[in-house]
Amino acid sequence: MIQPFVYTAQPARVIFGDGTLARVPEEIARLGLRRVLTVSTPPQAGKAAALAARFPDRSAGVLAEAVMHTPVAVTEAAMRVVAERGADGLLALGGGSAIGLSKAIALRTGLPQIAVPTTYAGSEMTPVVGETRDGAKTTRSDPRILPTVVIYDVDLTMSLPPALSGTSGINAIAHAVEALYARDGNPVIALLALEAIGALHRALPRIVADPADRAARTEALYGAWLCGLCLGSVGMALHHKLCHTLGGRFGLPHAETHTAVLPHALAYNAPAIPDVMARLNAALGTGDAPLALYELAGRVGAERSLRALGMPGEEGEEEAGEATGDVIGGTVAAVLANPYWNPRPLEAPALRDLLSRAYRGLPPASS
């Protein structure tokens, strides 16, 4: 039975293919921009400079200061650069960090953005930005945050290391999984989510086996686009709340944290979403979707333990002034203090067990 729903299409222009980076100057001209600031992370500074050199008469230079979790202090410094250079548009080259900084600037200025993703994160398709201040990560949604144009170039992903390809891709899968049971979900997004999950589930092991497999790279980027579209169209639930809390509190790596948490968050919600689980099992070709996602992480060589990713231990240590004797309990308390909507009620003991298993890298608890 189809339930009543509301579907709002996102207005971004998407260009997908091989060699599409060459269309950046054309898109800048089409938007009428004259002073475009290219945003990247420090390691991508050289590539950002080479991209800006393609439109020298319309470039405001490069800002290669983006970092993980979009700290507000970095955004405030970037705002001064935007003003000093008279930028009238933004061009983000990279993954979630570069695109996140561009989006944070756009939120404050209303400047149009062109996003050129080089990973499978999917942030480029969402009107959402997550910002960190004083160890807390909060998300904001606004139409100004959504990039105006997104250019997907398979060529840019061919050098993405297999390990990063795996975690970036599973991070994208997490967006689609939660879209299947979002409070404001709808049939269109559900179809896109299942298509996206299937594409990435097929492609990621092939990329690890042969990083030069262009067909697999293309399928993964296609899946990532759909996952980002899902995330940009409906709300988030427990999985994203957990990852935002862990990232903000402990500075854990973004994609890797999503990879470690996803099987456990899905297992937690499974009893409350039997219809979704049936469709997800079919898309993954399994009878146990949480375990299949845990095993996918293993197949792509991802770390499945939050402890190995840098989450403080459960006894005897101190991290940033916080006694870690009950780090998991403190994390649960932070989640419960400002929860996202979730199909299953949030219960502290069950959440402690979820995080304890993820901390140790154990398989997800059976539903």
**Which CATH number fits the domain that encloses residue 67?**
3.40.50.1970
**b/e per residue 31-63 (b: at least 16 CB within 10 A):** bebeebbbbbbeebbebbbebbeebeebbbbbb
Instruction: Work out the percent of the chain whose per-residue pLDDT is above 90.
Output: 86
347 and 258 part of one domain: yes
pTM for this prediction:
0.90
Give backbone dihedrals phi and psi of 171, rounded to 5 degrees, phi first.
Answer: -55, -45
In a shared domain, residues 77 and 21: yes
Domain for residue 304, yes or no?
yes
Mean pLDDT value of segment 167-186: 96
Q: Which residue has the higher pLDDT, 50 or 317?
A: 50
Looking at the fold, whether 275 and 353 belong to one and the same domain comes out as yes
| Residues 216, 153 share a domain | no
Average pLDDT, the chain: 93
pLDDT digits (tens, 9 = 90+) for 72-81: 999 999 999 9
Pair (282, 316) in one structural domain = yes
Q: How confident is the model at residue 317 (pLDDT cuts 50, 70, 90)?
A: very low
Tell whether 117 and 198 lie within a shared domain: no
* Residue 123 belongs to a domain: yes
The mean pLDDT of 11-39, rounded to a whole number, is 96
Domain ranges, residue 37:
13-157
Domain assignment present for residue 172? The answer is no
Residues 241 and 205 in one domain: yes
Same domain, 95 and 228: no
Number of domains in the chain: 2
Ranking 127-136, 257-266, 293-302, 315-324 by mean pLDDT, the lowest is 315-324
pLDDT score at 325: 46
In a domain, 2, yes or no: no
Among residues 36, 168, 18, 226, the alpha carbon closest in space to that of 114 is found at: 36
The CA-atom distances, in angstroms, between 164 and each of 58, 87, 108, 128 are 33, 32, 31, 23
Whether residue 167 lies inside any domain: the answer is no
Per-residue exposure over 302-337, b if at least 16 CB sit within 10 Å of its own CB, e if not: bbbebeebebbebeeeeeeeeebeebbebbbebbee
Asked if 89 and 187 sit in the same domain, the reply is no
Residues 328 and 185 in one domain: yes
Is 227 inside a domain boundary? Answer: yes
Q: Please report the DSSP string for 278-313 in residue order.
A: HHHHHHHTSS-HHHHHHHHHHHTT----HHHHTPPP
